[in-house]
Chain A
């Protein structure tokens, strides 16, 4: 397992796609911060570290956009391993399929966390340099930031196990990117429309526990732990179900 992880992280480090993503994020973040400094007033956006942190968490939880992004990352990391026959090579070298899957999941999670944290750090540092932090820095603030990052990060990580499942199932990069976009768009749309159609409070409550919805509540300043606790649990179960489904697809697949 350790051998697989070492090899997979080596590939991640050498990956042109991942390095490009890091650079694109950096450039896009800088352009965004410069834009906000010029037209932020008109858009009602404050260029402070704290407000940009909150803005970023909200934008990350917009599932369609981040679904596209992290779906692309999953597709790049996993389907390219099929294409280069790295997965086949690992099996032929005596690595178990379970370890291969676990290693890919870990590397994918680390990759999306690196990309997300890069965004967060640049937003906070860049905005703080331009307009200050904009909030008193005390224990409560740090706890809030750490809690939102941890909770939202956890829910999103579990939610994006969908992308791992799609990439492992479809194998093709183009197909898995397309399906991810479509899937997150349809789910996002469905979660908004279903409560309107059925007009059921129970249904709405249930839907709110799903990670696609509950991710938004994790970045709230004050949080209802009773509700959030269930949401976190549901997210955890959802992620595990997705990994289990991926395992079911992968464990007996013929790799020609």
Chain B
């Protein structure tokens, strides 16, 4: 790879930068000191359980919520007026906002075009075709299947050619066919038009074939931000140790092997970074540590996610 090309790739444009964002509803802290950056052209899987803070985060980017602390920068600006303007470069799919149950696809698209100041009647049919809703005719939006609703919502969000697409749980309630349809549509938008996508979900496996990067949130805290390659690497090889002397093992791992990425759940220790397992086994043996279980495991994405947010404390 040429040095200049490498440099360019390293300096990928950040289009969203969230810094130290905190949001409270009364005494309940829904987002706590959140820092994330979204780079142009990537597809981010925004993972978290229900109530983890995904929608709250997206609503802050959208300008629907006001942060108690912290700031948001969109397309290089954090000025209040410029932020409002910047949002015109974002498309959002969120609980079918702006889509009326008693309108058909044509009228819903027309209303969204008016809201965006687009005066191009041919774009209506084009959008209907792009999202695969040709032939729905006068059918009211409320009578659509969940997949059709989501596709129309994405079509409307794409009307003004946004550079960033925010999707809040777009695969919720979809059947497998619907999920594949949405996934293909989003892939197409990313590959053909270079649209950056942030897609929130609590189903990690469904995002696996789509996302280039992941942001994992739990109880309002960003737990991890990692690329798809990093996630695959972490999932592929994890060392599982069961012992009655957790603290001693942790000390050995920290001092002798420089291991920091460790999860503890009772007497179970999971080492989440590459390590010489054979060498460690000898060390534990020499240190007289009783080990009842010791194995390298391949982990499913689902398990990785569960371990990240639900299993044990962070060491």
Contacts and interface: CB of A to CB of B under 8 A. Distances in A.
B307 to A, nearest CB: 30
B115 A92 contact: no
Interface in A72-105: 84-86, 88-96
A3 B114 contact: yes
A92 B116 contact: no
B107 A94 contact: no
A68 to B, nearest CB: 25
A6 interface: yes
Contacts of B63: 91-92
A78 to B, nearest CB: 15
B65 A3 contact: no
Contacts of B103: 14
Interface string A49-61: 0000000000000
B102 A7 contact: no
Contacts of B117: 2-3, 6
B65 A93 contact: no
A92 B66 contact: no
A10 B111 contact: yes
A197 interface: no
Contacts of A84: 97-101
A249 to B, nearest CB: 14
Interface string B87-107: 111101011111111110001
Nearest to B102: A16
A147 interface: no
Contacts of B84: 94-96
Contact of A94 (B59, B85, B100, B102): B85
B87 A92 contact: yes
A226 B97 CA distance: 50
A51 B312 CA distance: 82
Contacts of A252: 66
B99 to A, nearest CB: 8
B219 interface: no
Contacts of B95: 85
Contacts of A89: 92, 97-98, 115
Interface residues of A, number: 25
A7 B88 CA distance: 16
Contact of A93 (B87, B101, B107): B87
Could you say which interface size class chain B belongs to? 20 to 34
Contacts of B273: none
Contact of B64 (A6, A96, A254): A254
A201 interface: no
A30 interface: no
B110 A10 contact: yes
A91 B62 contact: yes
Contacts of A171: none
Contact of B90 (A2, A90, A92, A254): A92
Contact of B65 (A7, A95, A255): A255
A205 interface: no
Interface in B104-125: 107, 110-111, 114-117
A96 B88 CA distance: 11
A92 B114 contact: no
Given A16-B102, A256-B59, A93 B64 contact: no
A90 B115 contact: yes
B107 A14 contact: yes
B97 A3 contact: no
A36 interface: no
B32 interface: no
B86 interface: yes
Interface in A1-28: 2-4, 6-7, 10-11, 14, 16
